[in-house]
Amino acid sequence: MAKRIITILIWLLLIVSGFVYAVPGVNDLLAEIDEMMDLESDCTAKVKITQQKAGEGVKVYEAIYYLRDRDDAFLIIMTAPEVEKGNGYLKLGDNFWMYRRNTRTFQHINRDESIAGTNAKGGDFENKKLTELYAPALDAGGKEITSQTTLGKIPVYQFELTAKTEDVTYPKVIFWVRQDNYLPLKTEGYSLSGTLMESAYYLKYTKIGGKYLWVQAMFVDEFEKGNKTVVEIQNISLQKIEDHVFTKTYLENLSK
Amino acid sequence: MGLVTRLSWRNLLRQKKRNLFLGIGIGFGMMILVVANSFSHGMVDVLINEVVSYAFGHLVIDGTQGNSYFTMIRDKERIVKIIEENIKPEDLLEINENLGMMGRAVGNGEADNVVVVGVTLEEDEKYFFNDFFTLVDGNFDDYFSTDYEYPVIVSSAMAKSLNVKVHDTIKIRIPMVTGQLQAAKLTVIAIADASNTFMNMVLFMQGYRVKELLGYKPWESASLQVTLRDPLKTAKYYADILHEKLKPGVICVAGKIKQADCLLVAFRHHDQAKEALRAELTIVAGDPEKAWAKRGVMVSKALAQKLGLKVGDRLNYAYQTKFRGIYEEEFTVDAIYDSRTRLGADVLLVNEERIHAIFNSYLPAELQDFLDEDDPLYAALATEWKLLRRSKDSQELQKLYKEERKIKSDQSRFNVITMYEGASDILKLEAVLNLLTMNAVLILFFIILIGVVNTLRMTIKERTREIGTIRAMGMQKRDVRNVFIMETLFLTALSCIAGVTLGIVAIKILGALTFNSTGALSIILKDGHLVFKLSPLSILGNFLLILVIACVTAYFPARRAANLSAVEALRHYE
């Protein structure tokens, strides 16, 4: 009888420990990340992009970014380098314009086009939810590809995602998120053929308005070795932004 | 007249040295004109035939979608059929897909921007590349090899830039039609010297391999290039015919909701179209603002009653696609309407912007006839694609594309362009070059003709007593005038003929020179040589123009000589 009780207790222990140490579902993790990082308010910030290209040295770009939460409209005005200063971008509904200070003209551009010649694209500045873009990748047995591991000394959940929509740069992405607060620490983007194209390291986060926002990240070009981009976000404000900011006139005035 | 001619000819030979120098001046001008004219013709010929026609085709059916960089024809078979049915077989040489995309390549420690171009060739067309390349290393035959996943032909310049040799691997990163990034490892199977600088940055691969990399489905195509036997005569003619035949049908697709048959009809996302529809249907339930909005979905009262649908309900609409079996899409009912028109039948009425993206990916097997073209509601209904108006030239085409970029829609767009419209700027370049050459040469001739006038004045002065003698012997004023004019014409004509001959010799010499340029000059080189194209018609035109100018210039001094009184002329002493 005692032996039986011990066996049951061991089984119960195993079951309970299984629940305690089980990796959360990927969809739950994605929902958690979306929830944690969705500012749900307007946002103003200074963005600094330090781009290092093999054989071309280092270029630093600076811009001020305005985001309206209501309709995801955004405005970017370049403040450095000198050749880009005064140029800007305005996304309003389906329209996306590029403003050139030299010619004082607005031009319709595609959201896939580069911002100021950097690796960043217009689409990268849109406020998108992971749950809308990606779904958990499944292995041959139909199970989510997920595991517990460490990144450096930090315990993380590692999971693989596949694109739900065509509206993403990488059809396959692997995430490493902290086990204690689910903040992403690293991602890897893969091409459709399975080649690692880019690694992103989220180096610093800040908590603002009860939400998390990464303020320093490094994007390493795994395809062309030696290229990397560091993005820093500073002077973040969640104050409401007046509607007149998201207009061509305002962008023109800012660039003067 | 015979005497006048003989006298003119004799006079021409009397002052050999003076006329020789004048003749050299005229001949030199003519030579420059011939060389410059042939050069501009040759340059345009290279740009049109070596660059534009290959990059652009004689006639292009251009399909685009949204604001994507890529050209996209969702149903290649259908468009190819339209082309084949409407271009006479004797005029149609071939139809090719314009497969190409700019990307980034990494070789052995070096990287560069490249253009990956797909050329679909059969084994018996293996000599195709000999027209554009001179093989340096490797084997063009390996282009067809299945031993390599992605065999590629690289120009010598690009091989040097990427630091690769035959059988080395090049990694490439290119955007796919979806906008996602694609990467692949290509094996260099041949390195060759390109005949044209544009070819230097191109990596050539079999068309089907490029399609696979770029993410085109087997039934899809990039823009279609049509090569015609005589494009100058037929390109515009066939472009107009194809434009007419590419008129799109109205979106009306038969499908099922809960096993009940119904029609999905799309209305245009346009104020006028919505106004026309509002006049013909009444919204009986739901929010009209939402119903007419960009993603609005309405159900006819008849269909709603049949299926027990209410506003806010979700329904699954299933239809037969052309290439991907049955497709099901979920809609939320924004409104229920009633109409006495055909729209009142079992119809699911949706805004076109709700359906274009779906139909682009899941093409309906067929469209149903719904309304006659003369029905007032016809113009309010959306079409399967937008057929862009024909453009007269490059400027109009650019303006059209600029307008289209402002329109945010998922609707596919079709355009029919010939290279004469798409590359009209290049054709204008020839006219501008000719005009510049002509102006320069006219200035040269103006200076030369001042010499002609001066020579004639001197001649007249020297021959004043001779004029007096022949006038006293009974020669008419008109004949005296004609002697001088004829003399000038003989001199000009002979000099021009010599100039044309020298021009042809100069062309041969210049055309034989080899230039190893990789700069801007290389664009107009063919196999490292300048290309000259003689145009007999324009040479003849210039020749006649110069004769007329010489004749007009000689006329006034000749008339003055003819008007001299015989007595006064005989009294004249130097």
Q: What average pLDDT does this structure show over B285-290?
A: 93
Does residue B125 register a pLDDT over 90?
Answer: no
Picking from A112, A193, A195, the nearest residue to B179 by CB comes out as: A112
Quote the tokens at residue B484. Answer: 């001088």
Contact residues on chain A for B405, CB-CB shorter than 8 A: 108
Of the two residues B210 and A4, the one the predictor is more confident about is B210
CA B241 – CA A88 distance, rounded (Å): 44
State CA B461 to chain mean position distance.
59
Contact residues on chain B for A195, CB-CB shorter than 8 A: 171, 183-184
- Looking at the complex, report in whole angstroms how far the Cα of residue A33 sits from the nearest Cα belonging to chain B: 23
Tell me which of A9-18, A55-64, B141-150, B532-541 is least confident.
Answer: A9-18
pLDDT of residue A111: 74
Picking from B106, B182, B408, the nearest residue to A224 by CB comes out as: B106
Under a CB-based contact definition with an 8 Å cutoff, are residues B173 and B181 in contact? yes
Over pLDDT 90: what percentage of chain A?
58
Tell me whether the omega of the peptide bond preceding residue B288 falls within 30 degrees of 0, making it cis: no
What b/e readout covers A15-48, taking b as 16+ CB neighbours within 10 angstroms? eeeeeeeeeeebeebbbbbeebbebebbbbbebb
CA B512 – CA B504 distance, rounded (Å): 12
Q: Which helix (H) or strand (E) holds A184?
A: strand A184-190
Does residue A15 register a pLDDT over 60?
Answer: no
Tell me which of A151-155, B108-112, B347-351, B447-451 is least confident.
Answer: B447-451
- Looking at the complex, report in whole angstroms how far the Cα of residue A155 sits from the nearest Cα belonging to chain B: 31
CA B176 – CA B187 distance, rounded (Å): 20
Are B183 and A195 an interchain contact pair (Cβ–Cβ within 8 Å)?
yes
Q: What average pLDDT does this structure show over B281-294?
A: 93
- Looking at the complex, report in whole angstroms how far the Cα of residue B319 sits from the nearest Cα belonging to chain A: 21
Under a CB-based contact definition with an 8 Å cutoff, are residues B154 and B170 in contact? yes
Contact residues on chain A for B106, CB-CB shorter than 8 A: 223-224
- Looking at the complex, report in whole angstroms how far the Cα of residue B107 sits from the nearest Cα belonging to chain A: 10
pLDDT of residue B522: 66
Picking from B184, B402, B405, the nearest residue to A193 by CB comes out as: B184
Question: Of B190, B174, B121, B376, which is closest to residue B273 (Cα–Cα)?
Answer: B376
Residue of A nearest to B215 (CA): A192
Residue of A nearest to B112 (CA): A224
Contact residues on chain B for A117, CB-CB shorter than 8 A: none
Tell me which of A146-160, A215-229, B162-176, B193-207 is least confident.
Answer: B193-207
Average pLDDT of chain A, as a whole number? 87
- Looking at the complex, report in whole angstroms how far the Cα of residue B101 sits from the nearest Cα belonging to chain A: 15
Contact residues on chain B for A163, CB-CB shorter than 8 A: 180
- Looking at the complex, report in whole angstroms how far the Cα of residue A194 sits from the nearest Cα belonging to chain B: 8
Does residue B158 register a pLDDT over 70?
Answer: yes
Are A108 and B405 an interchain contact pair (Cβ–Cβ within 8 Å)?
yes
Contact residues on chain B for A119, CB-CB shorter than 8 A: none
Residue of B nearest to A106 (CA): B406
Contact residues on chain A for B183, CB-CB shorter than 8 A: 191, 193, 195, 197, 223
Helices (H), B15-148: 16-45, 53-56, 76-86
Are B408 and A170 an interchain contact pair (Cβ–Cβ within 8 Å)?
no
Contact residues on chain B for A224, CB-CB shorter than 8 A: 104, 106, 111, 173
Q: Pick from A71, A92, A98, A108 the residue to mutate for testing the B interface (most B CBs within 10 Å).
A: A108
Over pLDDT 70: what percentage of chain B?
96
Quote the tokens at residue B391. Answer: 């453009």
CA B228 – CA B246 distance, rounded (Å): 19
- Looking at the complex, report in whole angstroms how far the Cα of residue B456 sits from the nearest Cα belonging to chain A: 58
State CA A155 to chain mean position distance.
21
ipTM value: 0.78
Q: What average pLDDT does this structure show over B278-302?
A: 93
Query: Which range in A132-146, B22-36, B47-61, B557-571 is most confidently predicted, on average pLDDT?
Result: A132-146
Are A223 and B106 an interchain contact pair (Cβ–Cβ within 8 Å)?
yes
Q: pTM here?
A: 0.75
Are B68 and A193 an interchain contact pair (Cβ–Cβ within 8 Å)?
no
* pLDDT grade for B523, boundaries at 50, 70 and 90: low
Q: Amino acid letter at B530?
A: L
Does residue A19 register a pLDDT over 60?
Answer: no
Phi and psi of B217, rounded to 5°? Answer: -75, 160
Does residue A23 register a pLDDT over 80?
Answer: no
Contact residues on chain B for A191, CB-CB shorter than 8 A: 173, 180-183
pLDDT of residue A11: 59
Q: What average pLDDT does this structure show over B235-246?
A: 96
Does residue B565 register a pLDDT over 90?
Answer: no
Tell me which of A124-128, A217-221, B404-408, B508-512 is least confident.
Answer: A124-128
Over pLDDT 90: what percentage of chain B?
47
Does residue B426 register a pLDDT over 80?
Answer: no
- Looking at the complex, report in whole angstroms how far the Cα of residue A236 sits from the nearest Cα belonging to chain B: 31
Q: Provide the CB-side half-sphere exposure for A171 (13 A, CA).
A: 16
Residue of B nearest to A196 (CA): B183
Of the two residues A121 and A30, the one the predictor is more confident about is A30
Are A191 and B179 an interchain contact pair (Cβ–Cβ within 8 Å)?
no
- Gyration radius of chain A over CA positions: 22
Are A193 and B171 an interchain contact pair (Cβ–Cβ within 8 Å)?
no
Picking from B106, B180, B184, the nearest residue to A166 by CB comes out as: B180
For chains A and B, what is the number of CB pairs under 8 angstroms? Answer: 56
Under a CB-based contact definition with an 8 Å cutoff, are residues A51 and A115 in contact? no
pLDDT of residue A22: 65
* pLDDT grade for B288, boundaries at 50, 70 and 90: very high
Tell me which of A55-64, A67-76, A95-104, B529-538 is least confident.
Answer: B529-538
Contact residues on chain A for B104, CB-CB shorter than 8 A: 223-224
Phi and psi of A22, rounded to 5°? Answer: -65, 145
CA A39 – CA A73 distance, rounded (Å): 14
Picking from A95, A111, A193, the nearest residue to B183 by CB comes out as: A193
Picking from B171, B180, B405, the nearest residue to A192 by CB comes out as: B180
Q: What angle separates helix B424-462 from helix B464-472, to the nearest 10 degrees?
A: 80
pLDDT of residue B572: 64
Are A193 and B182 an interchain contact pair (Cβ–Cβ within 8 Å)?
yes
Does residue B424 register a pLDDT over 90?
Answer: no
* pLDDT grade for A17, boundaries at 50, 70 and 90: very low
- Looking at the complex, report in whole angstroms how far the Cα of residue A192 sits from the nearest Cα belonging to chain B: 6
Quote the tokens at residue B164. Answer: 């690769």
- Looking at the complex, report in whole angstroms how far the Cα of residue B180 sits from the nearest Cα belonging to chain A: 4
pLDDT of residue A60: 93
Are B173 and A224 an interchain contact pair (Cβ–Cβ within 8 Å)?
yes
Tell me which of A180-194, B93-107, B185-199, B248-262 is least confident.
Answer: B185-199
Does residue B574 register a pLDDT over 70?
Answer: no
Residues of B with CB under 8 A from a CB of A: 67-69, 104, 106, 111, 171, 173, 175-176, 178-184, 215, 402, 405-406, 408
Residues of A with CB under 8 A from a CB of B: 54, 93-95, 108, 110-112, 163, 166-171, 189, 191-193, 195, 197, 223-224
Are A171 and B180 an interchain contact pair (Cβ–Cβ within 8 Å)?
yes
pLDDT of residue A1: 55
Q: Provide the CB-side half-sphere exposure for B555 (13 A, CA).
A: 7
What b/e readout covers B69-81, taking b as 16+ CB neighbours within 10 angstroms? ebbbbbbbeebbe
Neighbours of A91 (CB within 10 A): 23
Q: Pick from B65, B67, B398 the residue to mutate for testing the A interface (most A CBs within 10 Å).
A: B67
Contact residues on chain A for B68, CB-CB shorter than 8 A: 110
Does residue B15 register a pLDDT over 80?
Answer: no
* pLDDT grade for B275, boundaries at 50, 70 and 90: very high
Tell me which of B69-83, B130-144, B209-223, B311-325 is least confident.
Answer: B130-144
Contact residues on chain A for B406, CB-CB shorter than 8 A: 95, 108
